[in-house]
Chain A
């Protein structure tokens, strides 16, 4: 069925509406957490202030206003990027998160590189030679890989490479330098060495998934008409596999990959905890232990935003790239 540019615009509009709605719900959740968790007055004043003064301050800060009024205030501040000051760091919560964001991003980039460079060749190989012993071994190992939780991979890595062999550092981010204006471990050896084990651990959980996905997608593509036609035309086998087949294999893989970026963020919390990696996830758990409400809310909103943005972008790109996709909401 043909879908014109108008359909795409409508689709885009719907997706944006949905994204806004989700962010709205997340902000509502964030706000009700703020409302119920801890008393901002205690953080500000301590114990030695009389009840009357407290009430006066409550009125002044608007804590006695109706829920909707307070929520409106929270929302208008949030839209301007003000999610309050962290109780512990005494700085704007968003700034604190922004500082840690790079560290988490490094992990995600490291893991993504590992996943891409291993899963694509392996998945293709397993699809092209499904009955070879290497393919069987890869598939067998991949189900073991799926069964090992990410924090266990991390612990095994530390035990083997740091404690027993002493090859790798077991925690922290190592040295960071800032040649381009932001502190990163990407630009020096120590930082990169520290990145190896956490990235491997983070990649380990997704790698089997992607190998399996690429394999099954590619097997399906290899069965299709146009590939048979390409064979019949007498094309070179590498051209058929890696040009014609791989292209259509990667399309659905990219969608799944986009969605998995969000999932990966959840796993960064685990990886960062094991490796004491000073990223957002580690920060979040510390904030939870300290009942640092503004920081907890800021984290929830930032993560929610990352999820919503990646999902929307992936959806939109997918419909643009793949003309055969049926746009949701339209009966076939």
Chain B
């Protein structure tokens, strides 16, 4: 059992993909930084010196303490300073990264499930089903995702009231961002299915009597993986941006359970009074997070799609 797995691993490590990955410093650094973010998000409860969700650990007397490296009334307890409510910025940012990543990844998983199912169905069945879904995709893409998300969440918030909404926010964000972007996947998968559908291996699978479902999922789908991988990175970055934007507008995560976007929002008014760190530190974290994902996505596209231009 282990031997073939080891072989597969060794083959993967010796592959062109890994070779090019090792050669490319930008990709390597981006990957390491992203890995650090993911670990920081996963281990936030362990790494964070304070629990920002626990009101008992917050003392309003500690509010707006600047980061330790600045002049002024710093406190070594709070490496990155505190926000207006006296929460430790470092802990809040760690938890915020966790929430932003969670929403980004789950929203994209939802997009994938919806998009792959619809794309496979559309490409394989064709005809009216195909026409219907692709029209729907056209229409949905023509209405900007962010606009749809803003309107949908605004209406939910007005309907539920702010109290209830803040409890449901994380699910609502995942649902809305997830549902709004399925056409990206559906179109890609459909195009690949159309390209693969008439190849010999599909005919061969049909001749030996496999059902259409099995052919689609086990034979065609694996051949569409590389475009999937490329759009997935971009989609995760976009989902995180959308989440941040929605939270910034006050339609996303509440201040008591902040994502990076709501942190930036809650600190925004304080830049006028000089407390820049409440906004700028989470902003930098957010930008670096998105940038690493985008850089990796760019690199993946170059490697997996040699037909496209480099850069």
Instruction: Tell which of A60-68, A140-148, A189-197, A227-235 binds the partner.
Output: A140-148
Bound: A308/B276 CA distance, A: 41
CB proximity of A260 to chain B, nearest CB, Å: 8
Kindly identify which residue among A36, A143, A149, A274 contacts B286, using a CB–CB cutoff of 8 Å: A149
Bound: A130/B309 CA distance, A: 10
Interface residues of B in 235-249 (CB under 8 A from A): 237, 241, 244-245, 248-249
Whether B154 and A285, one on each chain, are in contact in the complex, defined by CB atoms closer than 8 angstroms, is: yes
State whether the Cβ of B89 lies closer than 8 Å to any Cβ in chain A.
no
Kindly identify which residue among B147, B272, B283, B291 contacts A266, using a CB–CB cutoff of 8 Å: B147
Interface residues of A in 142-167 (CB under 8 A from B): 143-144, 146-152, 155-156, 158-159, 163
Q: Which residues of A contact B286 (CB under 8 A)?
A: 149, 152
Q: Which residues of B contact A37 (CB under 8 A)?
A: 155, 158-159
State whether the Cβ of A109 lies closer than 8 Å to any Cβ in chain B.
no
Whether B264 and A151, one on each chain, are in contact in the complex, defined by CB atoms closer than 8 angstroms, is: yes
State whether the Cβ of B151 lies closer than 8 Å to any Cβ in chain A.
yes
Closest to B265 in A: A151
Count contacts between A and B, CB distance < 8 Å: 109
Instruction: Tell which of A94-102, A174-182, A299-307 binds the partner.
Output: A299-307
A155/B268 contact (C-beta < 8 A), A37-B158, A262-B144 known: yes
Kindly identify which residue among B139, B158, B245 contacts A270, using a CB–CB cutoff of 8 Å: B245
Whether A149 and B147, one on each chain, are in contact in the complex, defined by CB atoms closer than 8 angstroms, is: no
Whether B155 and A266, one on each chain, are in contact in the complex, defined by CB atoms closer than 8 angstroms, is: no
Q: Which residues of A contact B290 (CB under 8 A)?
A: 147-149
CB proximity of A204 to chain B, nearest CB, Å: 12
State whether the Cβ of B287 lies closer than 8 Å to any Cβ in chain A.
yes
Bound: A285/B159 CA distance, A: 14
Whether B142 and A262, one on each chain, are in contact in the complex, defined by CB atoms closer than 8 angstroms, is: yes
Whether A269 and B249, one on each chain, are in contact in the complex, defined by CB atoms closer than 8 angstroms, is: yes
Kindly identify which residue among A156, A170, A291, A311 contacts B142, using a CB–CB cutoff of 8 Å: A311
Interface residues of A (CB under 8 A from B): 18, 22, 33, 36-38, 130, 136, 139, 143-144, 146-152, 155-156, 158-159, 163, 170, 215-216, 219, 259, 262-263, 265-267, 269-270, 273-274, 284-285, 288, 291, 293, 296, 300, 303-304, 307-308, 311
Q: Which 3 A-B pairs have the closest CB atoms?
A: A266-B147, A263-B144, A266-B146
